[in-house]
Amino acid sequence: MSRFLDVGVASLVPYVPGEQPKDAGYIKLNTNESPYPPSPSVIAAVKAESEKLRLYSDPETSDLTAAIAEFYGVGQKNVIAGNGSDEILAFIFKAFFGEKGAACPDVSYGFYPVFCSLFGIKYNPVPLDENFMIDASAYVDVMDNIVIANPNAQTGIYLPLDKVEEIARSRPDRLVVVDEAYVDFGGETAVPLTKKYGNLIVVQTFSKSRQLAGGRVGFAVADESLINDIKTVKYSFNPYNVGRLGIAAGCAAMKDREYFDACRSKIIATRGRVAYELAKLGFTVLPSKANFLLIRHGGVGGEEMYRALKQRGVLVRHLKDERIKDFVRVTIGTDDEMDVFLKKTAEILGELK
């Protein structure tokens, strides 16, 4: 820490992203990326756009918001795009949460409390129930704004849409932000509900189901007045927040529905098979509708499992949160990658006997 660091920043505990090793030898199941490449139309669009990199990108990201609006059947004015959904979430926390505070599940995306400390927002963790489920009724009387990931981060458990609606309906004077980073792997999006509830913001990303984690594209859908408020923060911070390549990639990805459906169907099928095999090996597997599984084995601790797999060339994620420290989180890769993961896992368990 330098002697120049602001005291407010010195006390921050930043978010720690999963490892991104330079060594391509690992089977990488640690940051919930897609194991499949971007669609061929994305690659062609990015190549064509690279000719124009001399020029700034469109600050309104109009082509991208039009493609998103068309996909979801909402107005273009109901959409804002960002440099990954992390940026969109940061804009939202900054725009709306100062006075209200943020109520979030106690086990969820680790960035929510970090945004709270960055922007001086009160963080109110609401416990998941004993089965790691979000209890919608626990949010009804909460006065803070609410942020839930659905399916929830780390657990993968999906909260049915009627429960999301119940939370949004119960108190129209507080915002409900639904982070749907993983919704395309078996959940149902709350986007249509944004037409009915002026206090609901749905956030999504191109990083998981649209193969663009490195392209950094995310977006939010909400009532136009909320989108305009988010734009006030964006234009006070980084008007050209999505670069030309991100806009081109995002547009092409949104338009290639066939490729999107093919990739997510493969991941859903692989997830089912892997969950079944892990249960046979004696793992507790939380019921996931995401592109990852949170798993625990009585015979081996979470950290130990993570290390043993890493030694064998498979990277998974171990999260230190008290309630899930006995688990590891395993991204769903290709079938071949998951076969190696299952084989190495069985080996590790065999050696413990």
Chain residues in the site for ligand PMP (CB under 6 A): 84-86, 109, 149, 153, 179, 181, 205, 207, 213, 218
Q: Is 295 or 308 the residue whose CB approaches ligand PMP more closely? A: 295
CA pair distance 182, 42, nearest whole angstrom: 21
Closest separation in Å from C-beta 198 to ligand PMP: 23
CA pair distance 286, 38, nearest whole angstrom: 29
Sheet of 292-296: strand order equals 284-285, 292-296, 327-331
DSSP 297: B
Q: Is 180 or 223 the residue whose CB approaches ligand PMP more closely? A: 180
- Cβ-closest residue to ligand PMP? 84
Closest separation in Å from C-beta 84 to ligand PMP: 3
Q: Is 144 or 179 the residue whose CB approaches ligand PMP more closely? A: 179
Q: Is the dihedral of CA 196, 201, 205, 206 positive or negative?
A: positive
Interacting residues of 16 by C-beta distance below 8 A, sequence separation 6+: 110
Q: In the structure encoding, which two tokens stand for residue 323, read together? A: 């309630």
Q: What contacts 24+ positions apart, CB below 8 Å, involve 259-265?
A: 259/39, 259/40, 259/41, 260/39, 260/184, 260/209, 260/210, 263/34, 263/36, 263/209, 263/211, 264/184, 264/185, 264/209
Closest separation in Å from C-beta 93 to ligand PMP: 12
Is 68 in contact with 107 (CB distance < 8 Å)?
no
Closest separation in Å from C-beta 203 to ligand PMP: 7
Closest separation in Å from C-beta 96 to ligand PMP: 17
Residue holding tokens 């993968």? 156
